[in-house]
């Protein structure tokens, strides 16, 4: 995980940087409604970055249609770009996915994804920003 000042950003600064919906999801662990986000059905190539801090998180090469209504990926770009935590909210036990740089809430990870990982990172579109020109949009094997 890269050392940044993102963990030292005050709540007031986050409110100024983010839209109301981004703040609700990224900082208050909210969820956007299924099939409403900008990226749930996007097929464009590029790198998905954290909408709060710009950290590269996922390659479009690992995005797949899960049928859930949220953008879904089977693998993050790097081992420290996304961190996971146990989430016991709403009477369930889930695995929360957070930005490894700023700690922003991205969504949840489930074990019903495709091979090779079997994981489904089910994310909120509002927590992401697609960078279509980023060369990191190649596949996980660099092709």
- Is pLDDT of 62 > 90? yes
User: Mean pLDDT, to the nearest integer, of 47-66?
Assistant: 96
The answer as to CATH 2.170.150.20 being correct for domain 9-135 is yes
Does residue 2 carry a pLDDT above 60?
A: no
Q: In the numeric block, which tokens belong to residue 35?
A: 């099939």
The per-residue pLDDT for range 95-138, each reduced to its tens digit, is 999 999 999 999 999 999 999 999 999 999 999 999 997 655 44
Alpha carbon distances (Å) from 141 to 59, 68, 75, 78, 117: 11, 26, 12, 12, 14
Q: Rounded mean pLDDT of 45-55?
A: 96
Closest CA to 120 of 97, 100, 140, 138: 97
Whether this model's pTM surpasses 0.85? yes
Task: Answer whether the bond into residue 116 is a cis peptide, omega within 30°.
Answer: yes
Residues involved in catalysis: 122
Q: Which residues contact 50 (CB under 8 A, 6 or more apart)?
A: 26, 57, 99, 101, 102, 104, 106, 127, 128, 129
């Amino acid at each position: 995980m890269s050392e940044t000042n993102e963990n030292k950003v005050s709540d007031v600064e986050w409110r100024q940087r983010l839209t109301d919906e981004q703040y609700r999801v990224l900082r208050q662990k909210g969820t956007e409604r299924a099939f409403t986000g900008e990226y749930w059905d996007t097929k464009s190539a590029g790198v998905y970055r954290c909408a709060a801090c710009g950290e590269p998180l996922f390659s479009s090469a690992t995005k797949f249609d899960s049928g859930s209504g949220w953008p879904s990926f089977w693998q993050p770009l790097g081992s420290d770009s996304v961190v996971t935590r146990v989430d016991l909210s709403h009477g369930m036990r889930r695995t929360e996915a957070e930005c490894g740089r700023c700690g922003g809430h991205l969504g949840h990870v489930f074990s019903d994804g495709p091979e090779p990982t079997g994981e489904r990172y089910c994310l909120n579109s509002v927590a992401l920003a697609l960078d279509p020109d980023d060369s990191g949009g190649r596949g996980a094997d660099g092709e």
